[in-house]
Amino acid sequence: MQRGFVRFAWGVLIYNLAVIVWGAFVRATGSGAGCGQHWPLCNGQVMPRAEQVETLIEFAHRLTSGLAGLLVIGMVVWAVRAYPKGHLARRGAWLSLVMIIIEGLLGAGLVLLQLVADNSSVARAVAMSIHLVNTLLLIGIITLTAWWGQGGGALRLRGQGLVGVLLWTAIVAVALLGVSGAITALGDTLFPAASLQHGIKQDLDPYSHFLIRLRIYHPILAVVTGVYLIIVGQVVARQRPSEATKVASALLILLFVAQLAVGVINIALLVPVTVQLIHLLMADLVWVALVLLAASAFSQPLREPVRSPALPSRA
């Protein structure tokens, strides 16, 4: 195991989580159009004059995102030097580079198509959903790269039986929950409620904007997904018993319960920006824990079914 690379890869993951949170801050403060309809330049300049705070926020996000790309490139170079050809850490690093390039292109598309700031169209909701899914894939593959770097085995995706069904369903459920959360956060930003009662009334009004009407589904989906993850964590820990699986299962359940608590606080306080960011970070950590649980379970050798010895035939 290359300890230096492993520490660097986990550091790349932590940095990307910070960039994602800052991106949410850009959305929550309505600063997505801070650089105008320009990319990669900001208001047509390499170093713009930050006459507005929105420009400073958006430009800072672009700088941190660019550094994230450089760090992933560094991870690729280090993996190539540290591991032999065909090693999973190498493949993970290269795939991380592909995903972060796509991430940058999706971010550029949001700006160039003006799907930022006060835009409340269906196109923006769809684009944000695609962006969110790619972000989850990016986080997941960086997590696997670090995990492979420290000795994690190859994933056996076939023949996993009940464990495979439960984990793949959990992955899809958490991704859908993340998409619903992103859409809900966008609705909260563009159509803030004056009070909790006012917000509920908006949600139930059939004439409200579609972003408002969709908000009510996120907490429902969160509760259902939470119950399911608790079941999955316990079943997988029993079916694929190992120290790594047990730790990942406990971490997943603990993080999701904490995330639900933060979500309740977020709604009760009418989604203040700080709590929104904490809620998003918790959601990303839940995803990381789920990826580690799946990796630990899928990398274990499958047990052969126990066969009873054949009885000797009677003459």
In angstroms, rounded to a whole number, what is the distance separating the alpha carbons of residues 69 and 97?
7
In angstroms, rounded to a whole number, what is the distance separating the alpha carbons of residues 56 and 35?
9
Task: Report helix, strand and coil shares of the chain as percent, to nearest 5.
Answer: 75, 0, 25
Neighbours of 234 (CB within 10 A): 13
Q: What values do phi and psi take at 232, rounded to 5?
A: -60, -45
Q: Shortest CA distance to 218 belongs to which of 294, 168, 166, 271?
A: 271
Residue 44 has pLDDT above 80, yes or no: no
How do residues 257-279 score in pLDDT, each as one tens digit?
999 999 999 999 999 999 999 99
In angstroms, rounded to a whole number, what is the distance separating the alpha carbons of residues 257 and 288?
15
State the average pLDDT over residues 125-130.
95
In angstroms, rounded to a whole number, what is the distance separating the alpha carbons of residues 241 and 90?
28
State the average pLDDT over residues 92-117.
94
**pTM given for the model:** 0.91
Q: Shortest CA distance to 131 belongs to which of 155, 99, 162?
A: 99
Residue 27 has pLDDT above 60, yes or no: yes
Q: Which long-range contacts (CB under 8 A, 24 or more apart) does 85-89 make?
A: 87/148, 88/144, 88/148, 88/152, 88/154, 89/2, 89/5, 89/9, 89/145, 89/148, 89/149
Q: What values do phi and psi take at 25, rounded to 5?
A: -65, -35
Q: What values do phi and psi take at 271, rounded to 5?
A: 45, 60
The residue extents of the domains of the chain are 1-154, 155-302
Q: How many CA atoms lie less than 13 Å away from 99 in the CB half-sphere?
A: 24
- pLDDT tier at 304, thresholds 50, 70, 90: very low
40 upstream amide cis, omega within 30 of 0: yes
How do residues 135-183 score in pLDDT, each as one tens digit?
999 999 999 999 999 999 999 988 899 999 999 999 999 999 999 999 9
Q: Is 272 left (phi over 0), alpha (psi -120 to 50) or beta?
A: beta
- 45 bridge partner residues: 42
Q: Would you state the pLDDT for residue 20?
A: 96
Q: What is the mean pLDDT of the chain?
A: 91
State the average pLDDT over residues 212-222.
95
